[in-house]
């Protein structure tokens, strides 16, 4: 496959180029056939962390995506999938949302899927795709934004939640915040619990890779 | 990623090495980080084409898989997922079934998924994963085994079925026979209908690749 161009849209305002490119860099590391360009929306330094900030982000994401229709795929790197449905109706380029990708991969790995996110609610794609097979025990204690994940107490809280979900019958964990990818906690969950845990950036990259493969002529 | 070893189990008895290796060769072409070894079950020259032949195949697949637990992943290359659940309970190596992989990928691509297979019934993973979002209009006319796919009339019949499914509201096609991969009809469906079509061997390879990525330490 010729190397493909993926546009990664970050739903948080980031000045720092390393932070901006972080998800794209992970995608390139996981899938060497993909190269990425990263862009972010303006005026949302706290990103998308509830329904209000999601609604606010949608038109900004649409405007950004429309400018990059020459990409081989566009990834909206957020588990809430803001603007994904709207863009799929609008554009002919494949549009991938992290939430749909994680839920779909989890669906293929386990029959009962535990969710770990940072929002009060279960993001829409997880509800839609996992339905009655989803186990939701709420947020990890003390974790309300991605910054909380960066500290030891946050990590431990996520691992504890994973063990609780397994005890409730989950045979797979679907992570529901791309911040979980930044701290690379999926493998730690797998080691600690012995069940697969789906990493959001790895999953969105997987669907981008699939879209590129299938479009090869 | 270090190149990974994938064991591909074919559920049809094949003497010809090129035919035996065909799915493995496609997986290697799609995912250059994977190398494959292919094995097949004995005494089933017509493969798995109904519930009776599926039941017959299960203990043979289990016996084969048990011999190859040193692989990085085991792929059961059949959309009916014979023995997949049993093996997942039994072994610690990731076990991937084509049917689960196709259904999960389709779940990520479209909201209403049309199925095209060669059996009288909808294979279990498609029913389980796609549920009420599945559109089933029965087999393509004149297609009852993979050999029928090899001829022009069979191809045309599959394309006609895809158009019927789209007219019924499908925005994605899930192929339900790995013979569809051999004839590489997914891209033709996409070109003809303008909606994504999920290729079984590409999907099972995708999940094998994901399993290998996630297991990297």
The domain spans of chain A are 4-97+202-215, 100-200
Establish whether domains B4-98+202-215 and B100-200 are of one fold: yes
Check residue A103 and give its pLDDT.
Answer: 97
Query: Are A217 and B187 an interchain contact pair (Cβ–Cβ within 8 Å)?
Result: yes
> By the CB < 8 Å criterion, does A127 face chain B?
no
What whole-number distance in Å separates Cα of residue A53 and Cα of residue A92? 27
Condensed to tens digits (0 to 9), the pLDDT of residues B59-105 reads: 999 999 999 999 999 999 999 999 999 999 999 999 999 999 999 99
Cβ pair B200, B190 in contact under 8 A: no
Chain A contacts of B209, Cβ < 8 Å? Answer: 206, 209
Chain A contacts of B103, Cβ < 8 Å? Answer: 107-108
Query: Are B30 and A213 an interchain contact pair (Cβ–Cβ within 8 Å)?
Result: yes
CATH code 3.40.50.1860 for A4-97+202-215:
yes
The Cβ of residue B58 has, within 10 Å, a number of other Cβ atoms equal to 18
CB contacts < 8 A, A to B, total 66
Chain A contacts of B210, Cβ < 8 Å? Answer: 105, 202-203, 206
Q: Give the sheet arrangement for strand A4-10, strand by strand.
A: A34-40, A4-10, A73-76, A95-97
Confidence of residue B9 (pLDDT cuts 50, 70, 90): very high
Which chain B residue lies closest to A95 (C-alpha atoms)?
B109
A148-167 residues touching B, CB cutoff 8 A: none
What whole-number distance in Å separates Cα of residue A10 and Cα of residue A179? 11
Nearest to A108 among B104, B131, B197 (CB): B104
Nearest to A100 among B108, B209, B217 (CB): B108
Cβ pair A28, A59 in contact under 8 A: no
As given in the structure block, the two tokens for residue B3 are: 């190149």
CA pseudo-torsion sign A211, A216, B1, B6: positive
- Token match 């339905």: residue? A131
Which chain B residue lies closest to A2 (C-alpha atoms)?
B30
Backbone angles phi, psi at B33, to 5 degrees: -80, -10
Query: Are B105 and A108 an interchain contact pair (Cβ–Cβ within 8 Å)?
Result: yes
The correct CATH number of A100-200 out of 2.60.40.4070, 2.40.430.10, 3.40.50.1860, 3.40.190.10 is 3.40.50.1860
Check residue A148 and give its pLDDT.
Answer: 78
Compute the nearest-CA separation of A91 from chain B (Å). Answer: 12
ipTM of the prediction: 0.91
> By the CB < 8 Å criterion, does B108 face chain A?
yes
The correct CATH number of B4-98+202-215 out of 3.40.50.1860, 3.30.750.24, 3.40.50.300, 1.10.3720.10 is 3.40.50.1860
Please state at what angle helix A200-215 crosses helix B200-215, rounded to 10 degrees.
150
> By the CB < 8 Å criterion, does A90 face chain B?
no
Condensed to tens digits (0 to 9), the pLDDT of residues B14-45 reads: 999 999 999 999 999 999 999 999 999 999 99
- Token match 């060769």: residue? B25
Condensed to tens digits (0 to 9), the pLDDT of residues B132-179 reads: 999 999 999 988 777 778 788 889 999 999 999 999 999 999 999 999
- Token match 């997949």: residue? B84
Q: Which of B209, B205, B185, B203 is nearest to B27 (CA)?
A: B205
Chain A contacts of B188, Cβ < 8 Å? Answer: none
Number of H helices, E strands in chain A: 11, 8
> By the CB < 8 Å criterion, does A214 face chain B?
yes
Query: Are B30 and A107 an interchain contact pair (Cβ–Cβ within 8 Å)?
Result: no
Query: Are B214 and A105 an interchain contact pair (Cβ–Cβ within 8 Å)?
Result: no
Check residue B148 and give its pLDDT.
Answer: 78
> By the CB < 8 Å criterion, does A129 face chain B?
yes
Query: Are A202 and B187 an interchain contact pair (Cβ–Cβ within 8 Å)?
Result: no
Backbone angles phi, psi at A206, to 5 degrees: -60, -45
> By the CB < 8 Å criterion, does B188 face chain A?
no
**pLDDT tens track, chain A, 217 positions:** 889 999 999 999 999 999 999 999 999 999 999 999 999 999 999 888 888 999 999 999 999 999 999 999 999 999 999 999 999 999 999 999 999 999 999 999 999 999 999 888 999 999 999 999 999 999 999 887 777 787 888 899 999 999 999 999 999 999 999 999 988 999 999 999 999 999 999 999 999 999 999 887 5
Cβ pair A158, A192 in contact under 8 A: no
Compute the nearest-CA separation of A107 from chain B (Å). Answer: 6
Chain B contacts of A187, Cβ < 8 Å? Answer: 214, 217
């Amino acid at each position: 496959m010729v190397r493909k161009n993926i546009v990664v849209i970050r739903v948080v305002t980031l000045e720092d180029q390393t932070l901006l490119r972080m998800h794209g860099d992970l995608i390139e590391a996981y899938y060497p056939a993909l190269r990425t360009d990263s862009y972010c929306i303006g005026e949302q330094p706290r990103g998308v962390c509830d329904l209000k900030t999601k609604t606010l982000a949608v038109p900004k994401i649409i405007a950004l995506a429309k400018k990059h229709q020459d990409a081989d795929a566009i990834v909206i790197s957020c588990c809430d999938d803001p603007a994904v449905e709207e863009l799929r109706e609008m554009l002919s380029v494949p549009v991938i949302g992290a939430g749909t990708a994680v839920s779909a991969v989890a669906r293929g790995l386990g029959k009962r899927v535990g969710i770990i996110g940072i929002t009060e609610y279960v993001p829409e794609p997880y509800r839609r795709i996992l339905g009655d097979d989803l186990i939701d025990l709420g947020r990890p204690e003390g974790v309300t934004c991605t910054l909380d994940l960066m500290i030891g107490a946050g990590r431990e809280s996520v691992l504890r939640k994973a063990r609780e979900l397994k005890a409730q019958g989950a045979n797979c964990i679907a992570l529901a915040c791309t911040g979980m990818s930044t701290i690379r906690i999926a493998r730690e969950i797998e080691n600690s619990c012995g069940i697969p845990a789906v990493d959001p950036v790895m999953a969105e990259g997987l669907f981008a890779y699939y879209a590129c493969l299938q479009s090869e002529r």
